[in-house]
Amino acid sequence: MATELTERENEAAPVMEVRNVEKHFDPSSNVIEKLRARLSPDSRSKIRAVDGVDLTLEKEQVQGVIGESGCGKSTLLLTLIGEHLPSEGELLYKGNPVSEFSKADWKQFRREVQIIFQDPFNAINPHFTVRQTLKEPLRIHNIDQTEERIREVLEQVQLRPAEQYIDRHESELSGGEKQRVAIARALIVDPEVILADEPVSMLDVSTQASVLELLEDLTTEYGASMMYVSHDLSTVSYVCDRVNVMYLGRLVEKAPTKEIINNPKHPYTQALIRAIPIPDPHFEREWTQIKGAVGDAQDLPTGCRFKDRCPERMDICDERPLLRPVDGDGGHEAACHLYYDHEDVVAASATDGHAGVDAE
Amino acid sequence: MSSAEYILRRAAISVVLILAVATFLFFVFRLMPGDYVTFLLGEGASPETAERLRQKWGLNEPLHVQYVQYMVNLFTGDAGSSKVTGQPVVQFVLPRLANSLILVLPAILTAFVLGSLYGAVLGTQEDSLLERYGIFPPTLIGTTPDFFIGIVVLFIFSAWLNLFPPSGMVSPGTRELATSHWDLYLTTDFLYHYTLPFLAVTLKYMYYPALVMRGSVVEVSGQEFSVYHKMVGLGALTRFKHIMQHASLPVVTLLPAVTATAISGLVLIEVVFNWPGIGLLVYDSILTRDMAVIQFVFLLIAIWIILGNFIVDIVYTIIDPRITYEEG
Amino acid sequence: MADSLLEVTNLDVTYRTKRDSVQAVSNASFSIESNGYFGLVGESGCGKSTLARAVMNSLDTNGEISGGEIRYRGDPIHNLSDREYKNSVRWDEIAFIPQSAMNSLDPLTTVQNQALEIAQAHKDWSNEKTLEKLRELFDIVGLPQSRIADYPHQFSGGMKQRAIIALSLLLDPSLVIADEPTTALDVIMQDQLLKYLDELRQERDFSLLMITHDIAVVFELCDSIAVMHGGQIAETGGITDVFDEPRHPYSILLQRAFPDVRFPDRSLEQIEGTPPPLSGSVDYCTFADRCPWAEPDCRDGAPPLEPVGGDASHLTSCIRSDEMEELAASHLEGRSTGESSVQSIQGSEQ
């Protein structure tokens, strides 16, 4: 259905972009605390789940976001799909800001941007057969609900022969099969962007491989872009072209997958990589040197949020590090004072007449 | 927020609630259709008497003035006089309240303790006939109307076996000899009369705690820490103690709700046993249209319910250290 | 074999429901040495947790050991009554770290009271002695001693995990069974925890039986391994033996199904199908329907565990094991060991 949005599409623009996006949550729950928060907006009391993230997803690109639990990656994903509206900053789809969307625009957005969730056991309506699960999105978006279309998509997610699966209920499917149905459901409307939230973490290893392969194939076959969120660098590196590393609401490093693994710059990324177990008894890996756990999202330190655990901490780390290119031109950026001179950069952008750099 | 703050806060809310109920009652009774005084005096009263009464009771004053007077009276312990006995309501009602409380509170507490233990034992008998069918007797009794249980109890133990007296709280002789109301409770005559209504109430109210406790115990036993306790090798009694700690939480919340219901069910039991409590009073005073009494009794019942909830909140925080004192 | 600490021989575990029975474990055999680090690996539902519970004499009421033996220090423990087990072995010799520390600690009891109850159930130590031990253990697992009197909800997730490790070591057991100890943890926390566990094991001289689905962790840390599928032990033996010369199709394929971050370009092995439901008696190889090299004989009788190449410590239950080296050559080749194609991940050869 051609809509205004399609006409306003900017061919050259990335298919999805977030600019300085923030998402805050209010931890207070009762009336009195909410009033108090409104009267004296103290930024400390909010949970800054996503705190100033810039991301650009190009056409047919697969990007990953990795981080540990509590880093905000799931919130980011839900913001990308429009479930959360950003507290600050912008989300742009095909060059158009989502804040200017009409109802028709949103309808198109919801068809073209699909999500696959982490938990296959809870993502599908247990009362539906596979057929009904797949018919639903077709119905919502006014696409012909042909049996053939359903069969086709089931074959594509490797549920063959389709007849065997089409009438089954959720309880008659294994975890891997359920996840494939969830993927089929996302594919059946011919999406432009697929957002995946840890889609294999709840599956057994033997199933993970095939689902990962499937996801990889899909982007090339369908020409869709994908944003893949996970805590597991091993699976992310299998599927993604580029990786973004997230820590407590901020992106600390961005690079092509090979670069991130071969040449991690940020101390957190380095720690993450070093902590991955290697399935080889002949290989003696160094143990992680990082102490402590990921900090509390409500009680954040000023400046770099990793500074309390960082083995390379310096005084300048009390200033929020900027995300800047490091090393070469391979599109590798890191937010770490080890790689640039903060005072120089701040001075330079001030004399250039830019708006004040966001420092804390 | 500390626990002291929490308790103060809950207390303040309770007080506000009670005032709200009193206000509500005031307006409900004033706004009832028909003229209050003629209603009281009946049809045959002369308009002059009616007018004099209105003057006396200040019923011609504007509503807000009456309201203020009403609240002031309440605070000073004056709830008017009973039409029937002429006594000040407060003085008249409170002993009756005491009679009800002394019946209801121990009986329901006993019902809860016995019912819980019974339910807990059922819950630990996994997969056995006892677990599945043992709930039947309390269910049967619990779903029978209370007055019927009262009648059955009366029939068996009084009429048939002739073990206990059929009615009243104390026999007239004891009442004459007693020096104060409270002394009445200390007589064996009282106990003698007390047994059957106590039995009826207890039997009736064992059902819910048994049912809830059984379900709760089954659920708690399946939780991981119960499994861990078994793995670690804790003795059966220790494990049971832990299970009871967890499983009793839902039963504790049940208590005020049940006690509140009991107040209303009490009317019928008191009628059956002719027990001079608040239930029987409600019944009688509605028949005689003794407004002042009715109003006050309703207020007392509301206070009872509000207090009950307040007490449960406090008890809960003692039992479960996980609960922090945050609202919402 | 010299007296192993724990020896499981031909173990069968059956669950009986109203309608039928499920053979959760069939003919399992393996052994754990003193101060050893044993990894029991398998997918969800393969029977590894059931096996652990059988060793702990903590099967659900409808489960029972229907065959075989479990011996601890040479003495049978599979047929002990609850009381006998408690007096001889439970917690004192064999302890357990549950999968979810979060839910296994009683939220209404302080940690120190839980420790006191454990000690009182098995020993006649004074309270002071128990608390002294607990403080010492808190120190060892990296928790502040002052917090032994706290309630579980006052600890963070990672701290709860460590508290429960402390409780498991309270009576100085010789065998600690850890059930998926790192499932809920992030990569860095997982690394920290596994480091602790291994150091503890070496310092306090106990054996660790780790139950997990994560074969990478096992290959990294353990000295012996057993791979389970559908209630059967597919392969067991010393870690380097099983890694260098796997002889069961499942172990061969499983190794390649895990992404190895040193070789991010390598394609992952896909294993078709799912394990079979194990109702009735299991007299077939439970991997047969998923196996690329299955033959009709594979479904004709349960495959026995046989030594590989005469090495009694390396066993596998595949009737075609001596052909596997050839048959699976393509899956086995290109396995570089001790190397890394990734610059940032370098180790030293062992």
- Residue A227 burial class via C-beta count within 10 angstroms: exposed 0-12, middle 13-18, buried 19 and up: buried
Q: Which of A174, A261, A278 sits opposite C264 (nearest CB)?
A: A261
Pairing label, strands C37-41, C224-229: parallel
Model pLDDT, residue C339: 66
Chain B: residues touching A (Cβ < 8 Å)? 326-328
Interface of B with C in 94-133 (CB under 8 A): 126-127
| Same domain, residue pair A6 and A92 | yes
In C237-338, which residue ranges form alpha helices assigned H by DSSP?
Answer: 239-244, 249-257, 321-327, 329-332
Closest CA to A204 of C98, C42, C221: C42
H-type alpha helices, chain A: 4-8, 31-39, 73-80, 103-112, 130-140, 147-156, 162-166, 175-187, 205-222, 233-239, 257-262, 267-274, 342-351
Distance, in Å, from the CA atom of B131 to the CA atom of B127, rounded to the nearest integer, reads 7
Q: What is the ipTM of this complex?
A: 0.84
Residue A35 makes CB contacts below 8 A (sequence gap 6+) with: none
In this structure, the answer to whether residues B235 and B274 fall within a common structural domain is: yes
Residues 6+ apart with CB under 8 A from C34: C4, C5, C174, C205, C207
- What angle separates helix B207-222 from helix B89-124, to the nearest 10 degrees? 40
What's the pLDDT score for residue B129? 77
Domain boundary among B75, B108, B124: B75
Residue A134 falls inside a structural domain: yes
pLDDT of residue B281: 84
Give yes or no for residue B34 having a pLDDT over 70: no
Q: Which domain holds residue A125?
A: 1-236
Is C257 touching A (CB cutoff 8 A)?
yes
Convert the pLDDT of each residue in A15-43 to its tens digit: 888 888 888 776 655 555 556 656 665 54
Measured distance CA(A226)–CA(A223) in Å, rounded: 10
CB B223 within 8 A of CB C81: no
Q: Which residue of A has its CA nearest to C240?
A: A281
Mean pLDDT across B224-233: 90
User: Given its phi and psi angles, is residue A174 left (phi above 0), alpha (psi -120 to 50 degrees) or beta?
Assistant: beta
Query: Is the domain of B145 the same as that of B249?
Result: yes
**Distance (Å, rounded) from C-alpha B89 to C-alpha C226?**
83
Kindly state the helix (H) or strand (E) to which residue A65 belongs, with its residue range.
Answer: strand A62-66
The nearest CA of chain B is from the CA of A40 a distance in Å of: 20
Antiparallel, parallel or unpaired: β A88-93 and A96-97:
antiparallel
Same domain, B200 and B276: yes
CATH of the domain at A133: 3.40.50.300
Contact A116, A195 (CB under 8 A): yes
Inter-chain CB proximity C108 and B231 less than 8 Å? no
> Which residues fall within 8 angstroms of residue B274, CB to CB, at 6 or more apart?
B167, B168, B280
- Which CATH number do you get for residue B201? 1.10.3720.10
Q: Are residues B165 and B49 in the same domain?
A: no
A112 lies in the same domain as A3: yes
Q: CB-based burial of residue B122 (10 Å sphere; 0-12 exposed, 13-18 middle, 19+ buried)?
A: buried
pLDDT tens-digit profile of A235-275?
888 888 899 999 988 999 999 988 888 889 999 999 888 88
- Residues B165-202 have pLDDT tens digits of 778 777 777 777 766 777 777 777 888 888 888 999 99
Mean pLDDT is highest, among A207-216, B29-38, B49-58, C316-325, for C316-325
Q: Which of B25, B42, B75 is the last residue of a domain?
A: B75
Q: What is the pLDDT of residue A357?
A: 44
CB atoms within 10 A of CB A174: 15
> Which residues fall within 8 angstroms of residue A255, CB to CB, at 6 or more apart?
A242, A243, A263, A265, A330, A331, A332, A333, A334
- Whether residue C108 and residue B232 make contact (CB cut-off 8 A), yes or no, is no
Minimum mean pLDDT among A151-165, A303-317, A346-360, C187-201: which range? Answer: A346-360
pTM above the 0.80 mark?
no
Chains that touch B (3 or more CB pairs under 8 A): A, C
Contact A192, A109 (CB under 8 A): no
Average pLDDT, chain C: 87
Number of structural domains in chain A: 2
- Residue A23 is predicted with a pLDDT of 84
Q: How are beta strands A242-247 and A62-66 bridged, if at all?
A: parallel
pLDDT-derived band at A352 (thresholds 50, 70, 90) equals low
In 3D space, the residue among C165, C103, C108 whose CA is nearest the CA of residue C139 turns out to be: C165
Confidence of residue B27 (pLDDT cuts 50, 70, 90): confident
Q: Quick one: pLDDT at residue A117?
A: 85
Residues A269/A343, Cβ–Cβ less than 8 Å: no
Confidence (pLDDT) at C35: 92
Helices (H) and strands (E) in chain B, counts: 16, 0
Q: Six-digit token pair at C164?
A: 């429960």
- CA angle, A258 then A264 then A269, to 5°: 115
Please indicate if any CB of chain A lies within 8 Å of the CB of C334.
Answer: no
Q: Which amino acid, residue C156?
A: S
Rg (CA), chain B: 24
A95 inside domain: yes
Q: Which of B218, B211, B222 is nearest to B118 (CA)?
A: B211
Residue B183 CB neighbours (<10 A)? 12
Q: What is the pLDDT of residues C215-267, one digit of tens each?
A: 888 998 999 999 999 999 999 999 999 999 999 999 999 888 888 888 877 77
Does residue B326 sit at the C interface (CB-CB below 8 Å)? no
- Round to whole Å and give the CA distance between B173 and B189: 10
Residue type, B298: F
Cβ separation C254–A206 shorter than 8 A? yes
Q: How many whole angstroms separate alpha carbon A62 and alpha carbon A233?
A: 14
First to last CA, chain C: 26
Mutate to test the interface with B, among C55, C94, C99, C108 (most CBs of B within 10 A): C108
Question: Crossing angle for the helix pair C157-168 and C127-140, nearest 10 degrees?
Answer: 130
Domain extent, residue B110, equals 91-319
**For chain B, first and last CA: distance in Å?**
13
Q: Report the gap between the CA of B326 and the closest CA in chain A (Å).
A: 9
Strand partners, A51: A22
C330 touches chain A (CB under 8 A): no
Q: Match 């003193």 to its residue by tokens.
A: C34
Who contacts A329 (Cβ-Cβ below 8 Å, separation ≥6)? none
Q: Is B228 on the interface with C (CB under 8 A)?
A: yes
Q: Is the separation of the CB atoms in C224 and C237 below 8 Å?
A: yes
More confident residue, B28 or C176: C176
* A contact test, residue of B5, B6, B326 with most A CBs within 10 A: B326
| A68 belongs to a structural domain | yes
**Residue A267, in any domain of the structure:** yes
Q: Which of residues 233-262 of B touch C (CB under 8 A)?
A: 233-235, 238, 242, 245-246
| Residue at A291 is within a domain | no
Tell me: pLDDT of B203 over 80. Answer: yes
Q: Are C241 and C224 in contact (CB under 8 A)?
A: no
Same domain (yes/no): A310, A218 = no
Which chains have 3 or more CB–CB distances shorter than 8 Å to chain C?
A, B
Verify that B137 and B265 share a domain, yes or no: yes
Q: What residues of B are in contact with residue A32 (Cβ under 8 Å)? A: 327
Q: How far is CA A12 from the centre of its chain?
A: 22
Residues A226 and A259 in one domain: no
Q: Where are the beta strands (DSSP E) in chain C?
A: 6-16, 21-32, 37-41, 63-72, 75-76, 94-97, 175-179, 207-212, 224-229, 232-238, 306-308, 311-316, 348-349
| Cα–Cα dist C167/C110, whole Å | 12
Do residues A220 and A253 both lie within one domain? no
Q: What average pLDDT score do residues C66-78 get?
A: 92
* Residues of C engaging B, defined by a Cβ cutoff of 8 Å: 56, 58, 61, 86, 90-91, 96, 98, 100, 103-109, 117-118, 121-122, 151, 153, 167
Assess whether B200 and B312 both reside in one domain: yes
Task: Kindly state whether A338 is in contact with chain C, defined as any CB-CB distance less than 8 angstroms.
Answer: no
pLDDT at A173 over 70: yes
Strands ordered across the beta sheet of A193-197: A113-116, A193-197, A225-230, A62-66, A242-247, A250-256, A333-334, A324-325
Res C350: pLDDT: 43
Least confident of A9-23, A99-113, A132-146: A9-23
- Chain A positions touching chain B (beta carbons under 8 Å): 29-30, 32
Please report whether residue B218 resides in a domain: yes
SS3 content of chain B, % helix, strand, coil (to 5): 75, 0, 25
Residues of chain A with Cβ-Cβ distance to B327 below 8 Å are: 29-30, 32
From chain C, pick out residues whose CB is under 8 angstroms from the CB of B232: 90-91, 96, 118, 121, 167
Residues B106 and B203 occupy one common structural domain: yes
Q: Determine the residue among C80, C106, C155 to mutate to test chain B binding: the one whose Cβ has the most chain B Cβ atoms within 10 Å.
A: C106
Sign of CA dihedral B256, B261, B263, B266: negative
Same domain, B61 and B114: no
Q: How far is CA A219 from CA A116, A224, A241, B10, B328, in A?
A: 14, 5, 11, 58, 45
Average pLDDT of span B65-89: 76
| Same domain flag for A50 and A141 | yes
Number of domains chain B contains: 2
| C341 C-beta neighbours (distance < 10 Å), count | 14
Do A103 and A6 lie in a common domain? yes
Nearest by CB to residue B321, choosing from C86, C100, C108, is C108
Burial environment of residue C287 by CB neighbours within 10 A (0 to 12, 13 to 18, 19 or more):
buried
Q: Name the least confident of A118-127, B139-148, B231-240, C242-251.
A: A118-127
Tens-place pLDDT, residues C79-137: 998 888 988 889 999 999 988 777 889 988 999 999 999 999 998 899 999 999 999 88
Collapsed DSSP state (helix, strand, coil) of residue A350: helix
Same domain, B65 and B150: no
The reply to whether B103 and B70 lie within a common domain is: no
Q: Looking at the domain assignment, is residue A282 inside a domain? A: no
DSSP A316: G
Give me the pLDDT at residue C71, please: 93
What is the C-alpha separation between A60 and A229, in angstroms, rounded?
17
- Reading the block at residue B223, the tokens are 């939780």
- Decide: C261 and C342 in contact? Cβ < 8 Å: yes
Residue A2 lies in a domain: yes
A311 falls within a domain:
yes
Domains annotated for chain C, with CATH where assigned, are: 1-93+173-334 (3.40.50.300)
Examine the pLDDT at A360 and tell me if it is beyond 60.
no
Instruction: Count the residues in chain A.
Output: 360
Same domain, A257 and A205: no
Integer distance in angstroms from the first to the last C-alpha of chain A?
46
CB interface of A with C, residues 199-238, below 8 Å: 204-210, 212-213, 231-235, 237-238
HEC profile for C204-236? HCCEEEEEECCHHHHHHHCCEEEEEECCEEEEE
Q: Are residues B103 and B243 in the same domain?
A: yes
Task: State how far the Cα of B267 lies from the Cα of B257, in Å rounded to an integer.
Answer: 17
Looking at the structure, tell me whether residues A129 and A196 fall in a common domain.
yes
Q: Are residues A122 and A100 in the same domain?
A: yes
- Sorting pLDDT into bands at 50, 70 and 90, what band is B287? confident
Residues A148 and A230 grouped into a single domain: yes
Residue A223 sits in the same domain as residue A322 = no
Nearest chain C residue (CA) to A211: C270
Look at A280 and C219 and tell me if their CB atoms are within 8 Å.
yes
Residue B232 forms contact with C (CB below 8 Å): yes
- From A146-155, C144-153, C184-193, the region with the lowest mean pLDDT: C184-193
- B201 & B64 share domain: no
CA B34/CA B50 separation, integer angstroms: 14
Note whether residue B80 is domain-resident.
Answer: no
> How far, in Å, CA of B149 to CA of B126, rounded?
31
Touching A: which chains, 3+ CB pairs < 8 A?
B, C
Residue A31 has a pLDDT of 54
